[in-house]
């Protein structure tokens, strides 16, 4: 019984940490990747990738996206997004950055050409406009690689899975069970298949 209480408390702490991280990232990168109109106000959510590039995410980022989707949409829509992410992950498997861009693999979070369903909890790569351009390089407007390395060091120090994963595969996994955050916080390698 005591173990169940501890696991419950740890799960709550992880969810709060993920949501706090998203809030901190949103303040830190407020407006990044979002064009301002002439009056200085933010326009509708905009995807700097246009869904044409592979997006790398850390576990806390994809867990925050999954949490936002579960709160924002009915279960049937979340299931549809998960299926679209799994389909895109299958299409992306083994492709180079150039092949990925040419394949036109759709981001399951985009509505239309560039309206993001989870703009508020978008990954750092989307906030920074950082995308693979091929030949192992990235085009970055900010220092997402350094930020990602800092997050990875912090997660590793906490004994948590800390790699970066392709968004589609990680999102399909994160939406596969409402218990994923607890499993990840308990040290289970829930994203191992997303490498």
What value does the mean pLDDT take over residues 77-94? 94
Contact (CB, 8 A) for 181 and 87: no
Q: Name the 3-class secondary structure at 113.
A: coil
Higher pLDDT among residues 190 and 36, named by residue: 190
pLDDT of the residue at 78: 96
pLDDT of residue 139: 52
Residue 6 pLDDT > 60: no
Contact 184, 91 (CB under 8 A): no
Of 47-51, 100-104, 178-182, give the range with the top mean pLDDT. 178-182
Query: How many other CB atoms sit within 10 Å of the CB of residue 18?
Result: 23
Of 42 and 96, the one with more pLDDT:
96
pLDDT of residue 43: 43
Mean pLDDT of the chain: 74
Q: What is the pLDDT of residue 5?
A: 41
Q: For residue 62, what pLDDT is reported?
A: 95
The percentage of residues in the chain with a pLDDT greater than 70, rounded to a whole number, is 63
Q: What is the pLDDT of residue 119?
A: 85
Confidence check: pLDDT of 115 > 50: yes
175: helix, coil or strand?
A: coil
pLDDT at 52: 66
pLDDT given for residue 9 in this prediction: 42
Q: How large is the average pLDDT for residues 137-155?
A: 67
Answer whether 144's CB lies under 8 Å from 57's CB: no
Angstrom CA distances, 154 to 133, 135, 149, 157, stand at: 27, 29, 9, 5
d(CA 32, CA 126): 8
């Amino acid at each position: 019984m005591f173990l169940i209480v501890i696991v419950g408390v740890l799960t709550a702490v992880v969810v709060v940490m993920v949501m706090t991280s998203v809030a901190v990232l949103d303040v830190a990168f407020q407006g990044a990747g979002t064009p301002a109109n002439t009056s200085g106000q933010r326009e509708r959510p905009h995807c700097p990738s246009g869904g044409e590039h592979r997006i790398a995410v850390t576990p806390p980022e994809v867990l925050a996206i999954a949490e936002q989707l579960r709160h924002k949409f009915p279960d049937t829509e979340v299931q549809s997004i998960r299926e679209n992410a799994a389909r895109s992950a299958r299409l992306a498997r083994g492709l180079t950055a150039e092949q990925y861009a040419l394949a036109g693999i759709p981001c399951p979070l985009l509505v239309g050409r560039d309206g993001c369903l989870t703009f508020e909890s978008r990954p750092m790569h989307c906030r920074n406009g950082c995308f693979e351009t091929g030949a192992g390089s990235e085009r970055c407007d900010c220092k997402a690689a350094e930020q990602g390395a800092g997050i990875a060091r912090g997660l590793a120090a906490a004994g948590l899975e800390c790699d970066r994963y392709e968004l589609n595969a990680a999102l399909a996994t994160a939406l596969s069970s409402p218990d994923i955050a607890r499993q990840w916080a308990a040290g289970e390698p829930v994203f191992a298949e997303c490498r």
